[in-house]
Amino acid sequence: MSMVVIAAGDGDDKLDVQDFKSNITILAVPLKKRVKWSLLLLYCIITVVGGVGAPLLQRLYYMHGGTHKWLSSLLQSVGVVILLPPLTFLYLRNLITDKLSSKVFLIDTKLILPSAAIGILFGLDNYMYSSGLSYIPVSTSSLLFSTQLAFTALFAFLLVKQKFTFYSLNSVAVMTFGAIVLAHHTNADRPPGVSEENYLVGFFFTLGGAALSGLCLPLIELACSKSRKPLDSLMVLQFQFVLSLFAAFVSIVGMLVNNDFRIIRQEAQNFTVGERKYYVILVASAILWQLTGIGIMCTINCTSSLFAGILTSVLLPFTELAAIVAFQEKFTVEKGFSLALCLWGFTSYFIGEYKKTDKTHNPDGIKDRLLDTECQR
């Protein structure tokens, strides 16, 4: 009789390797990528700091006289300049220590075009989000953008073959219903001076931005899976640099078409809290948005696009509370109900992912995948 041995290995391991001398069949079972929990915690903290602070500063820009949506959109990507010092440092350090040649240092050519294309999509997504936030409160915007998790799950299923479960389907259903609840109760939540038509424009622009962002996250995971080089933190930063550069290019083109560059100084002089604070808000907002992008990108590389979608949904309660405290925004019954539905959807999705991960790493789960394997002579 021959013997079947189960060996856990990486995704590139071959199955059904036969040792003819000992008649032992080795089944290499692919496991998920190993998670470095300390790094993942750092990426989560960076994402939380940027993801909560940036929307508040962006809303502050609109509240005190800011009116230019393309400029607000540019702030979400122009912070790419903060990546230059760490990239330069890592480049010089590797050259000095002879650990990495200048040619190998550069990003994989297979990632340049995908990162540029995704950057253009993010540039459009930034404009949709900025336009939405100019008409609706931060708390409402964050609730609507939480539906990104549902879109991420859908596109991850289509693009990276992520399996759907009852929990993920439940998450999609309840989070979508939460957005519908907000859509039918707009009168009590409109900021002063915003018409119902403009509110609905902001509503659907934000919802469309959530859908586009939900598409971009799996696209990033799909692009990174095609890389011929190891995706370490250095390579991820370069991917983020190219992505943000093209996203900023989209916003710059929009500003040139609208002649926004000519009136920035005038807008700063008319800013109700002062010209100096105007520039402080712009710079701080750009830095926080870039921190959010870095955190999400590194999280995708460390885990998956679905986990990144979950992480951005986790920010919802924190952004809600921060907006209510900072801007005294109304917390209506409908908004509370929608928040509860979004948290329910997030919890359902998290439970499903936890059970799936536990089954994958549990020896009994591995056995279940080998029920059809028989010991043959």
Exposure string of 68-97, with b = 16+ CB inside 10 Å and e = fewer, is bbbbbbbbbbbbbeebeeeeeebbeebeee
Exposure string of 242-268, with b = 16+ CB inside 10 Å and e = fewer, is bbbbbbbbbbbebbeeeebeeeeeebb
Q: Residue 67: what pLDDT?
A: 83
Q: Is residue 98 located within the same domain as residue 19?
A: no
Q: Is residue 103 located within the same domain as residue 16?
A: no
Q: Is residue 3 located within the same domain as residue 46?
A: no
Asked if residue 200 is part of any domain, the answer here is yes
Q: Is residue 139 located within the same domain as residue 197?
A: yes
Q: Is residue 17 located within the same domain as residue 117?
A: no
Q: Which residues contact 110 (CB under 8 A, 6 or more apart)?
A: 226, 227, 228
- Say how many CA atoms lie within 13 Å of 350 toward its Cβ: 12
pTM of the model: 0.74
9 forms bridges with which residues in the sheet?
30
Q: Residue 352: what pLDDT?
A: 75
Asked if residue 91 is part of any domain, the answer here is yes
Q: Residue 31: what pLDDT?
A: 44
Rounded Cα–Cα distance for residues 191 and 106 (Å)? 47
Q: Is residue 121 located within the same domain as residue 24?
A: no
Asked if residue 375 is part of any domain, the answer here is no
Q: Residue 188: what pLDDT?
A: 58
Asked if residue 373 is part of any domain, the answer here is no
Q: Which residues contact 322 (CB under 8 A, 6 or more apart)?
A: 52, 56, 138
- Say how many CA atoms lie within 13 Å of 300 toward its Cβ: 27
3-state secondary structure of 29: strand
| pLDDT mean for each 10 residues of the chain (377 residues) | 41 42 42 63 88 87 86 91 86 69 63 91 91 79 76 84 75 73 61 78 89 90 80 80 93 91 89 91 93 87 76 72 75 74 76 67 46 38
Q: Is residue 214 located within the same domain as residue 139?
A: yes
Give 100-162 as a DSSP string. Answer: S-HHHHSPPHHHHHHHHHHHHHHHHHHHHHHHHHTTS-HHHHHHHHTTHHHHHHHHHHHHS-P
Q: Residue 284: what pLDDT?
A: 94
Q: Which residues contact 90 (CB under 8 A, 6 or more apart)?
A: 234, 237
Q: Which two tokens stand for residue 350?
A: 């998290």
Asked if residue 108 is part of any domain, the answer here is yes
Q: Residue 116: what pLDDT?
A: 92
Q: Which residues contact 289 (CB under 8 A, 6 or more apart)?
A: 50, 54, 75, 76, 77, 79
Rounded Cα–Cα distance for residues 282 and 79 (Å)? 10
Q: Residue 4: what pLDDT?
A: 39
Q: Is residue 21 located within the same domain as residue 141?
A: no
171 closest CA partner among 343, 355, 357: 343
Asked whether the CA dihedral 176, 177, 183, 189 is positive or negative, the reply is negative
Q: Is residue 296 located within the same domain as residue 181?
A: yes
H or E stretch at 9: strand 3-9
Cα-Cα-Cα-Cα torsion 242, 39, 213, 196, nearest 10 degrees, comes to: -120
Q: Which two tokens stand for residue 202?
A: 């902001």
Q: Residue 130: what pLDDT?
A: 85
Asked if residue 225 is part of any domain, the answer here is yes
Give the residue numbers spanning the domain of 139. Answer: 34-368
Q: Is residue 14 located within the same domain as residue 38?
A: no
Asked if residue 237 is part of any domain, the answer here is yes
Q: Which two tokens stand for residue 96?
A: 């000095």
Give the count of domains, the chain: 2
Q: Residue 353: what pLDDT?
A: 66
Q: Residue 328: what pLDDT?
A: 75
Q: Which amino acid, one-letter code, is at 71?
A: L
Q: Is residue 342 located within the same domain as residue 353?
A: yes
Q: Residue 252: what pLDDT?
A: 94
Q: Is residue 9 located within the same domain as residue 52?
A: no
Q: Residue 373: what pLDDT?
A: 38
Asked if residue 377 is part of any domain, the answer here is no
**Contact (CB, 8 A) for 341 and 177:** yes
